[in-house]
Amino acid sequence: MHDNGLSGAIEWASAARALPGQRVCGDRAVVLDAGGESVLFAALDGLGHGPAAAEASDRAAQVLSDNRAEPLDVLVVLCHRALADTRGAALSLSLFDTGDRVQWLGVGNVETRIVAAAPAKPTIRATALLTAGIVGYRLPQNISTQTVPVRVGDLLLMTTDGIVSDYIETIDLSRPTAEIAAAILERHAKDTDDALVLAARHRGHTTPAQ
């Protein structure tokens, strides 16, 4: 399952595939216009795999869609309530609300990073704190949102634990996000889990004619 688009000045792409042998994928990418120029990105990993994992992810995706303008910590709590009778999910949220910052918040094992170009090879500029917990089952005590600065061209990358996290140096930042996400999925997905990559970057504002 590959998807991509342009939301305002933000270019994004997702790539996912089910655990080999499974028909449905329990990992889900969500991209939502959140009002103004804000775009909300979510990477969801329903616990385990198969239809029950997909149901947990679908439930969270619906809650996010219905409440997209709420602050990230509120969204996590709303998802937690809605997933109480599912097997639960890992969830990571990133909000591009301007061209120069990202807010993020995650529960469970979805890695979220800002990757920047450097002279030799891409480097990690910032990494979201991974907080232990399962949305729908147990939230951590402190679910506070972090705000990180980004520059035009920096890449926001969200990957579920079905991706082996040694891919940073292999990224070609000159390529479109659709190619970057597809390449990471193809080369770094584990054979033992569903796998998902979500990539986004701000392409910069064009100056209006005077």
Q: Which residues of this protein are in contact with Mn ion, per CB under 5 A?
A: 45, 160-162, 193
Q: Which is nearer to Mn ion, 41 or 96 (CB)?
A: 41
Minimum CB separation of residue 29 from Mn ion in Å reads 13
Query: For the chain, first and last CA: distance in Å?
Result: 43
Q: Which is nearer to Mn ion, 134 or 148 (CB)?
A: 134
Minimum CB separation of residue 19 from Mn ion in Å reads 9
CA angle at residue 66 from 8 to 193, to 5 degrees?
A: 85
Q: Which is nearer to Mn ion, 44 or 75 (CB)?
A: 44
What is the rounded CA–CA span in Å between residue 96 and residue 103? 7
Minimum CB separation of residue 199 from Mn ion in Å reads 18
Q: Which is nearer to Mn ion, 133 or 162 (CB)?
A: 162
Strand-pairing partners, residue 13, are 4, 199
**Across the chain, how many H-helices and E-strands are there?**
3, 11
Minimum CB separation of residue 50 from Mn ion in Å reads 12
Q: Which is nearer to Mn ion, 7 or 160 (CB)?
A: 160
Which run of H or of E encompasses 77?
A: helix 72-82
Minimum CB separation of residue 60 from Mn ion in Å reads 14
Q: Which is nearer to Mn ion, 154 or 193 (CB)?
A: 193
What is the rounded CA–CA span in Å between residue 2 and residue 87? 25
Minimum CB separation of residue 162 from Mn ion in Å reads 5
Q: Please say whether the beta carbons of 45 and 56 come within 8 A.
A: no
Q: Please say whether the beta carbons of 44 and 28 come within 8 A.
A: yes
Strand-pairing partners, residue 39, are 33, 96
> Who's near 79: CB < 8 A, 6+ residues apart?
59, 60, 63, 64, 89, 91, 135, 136
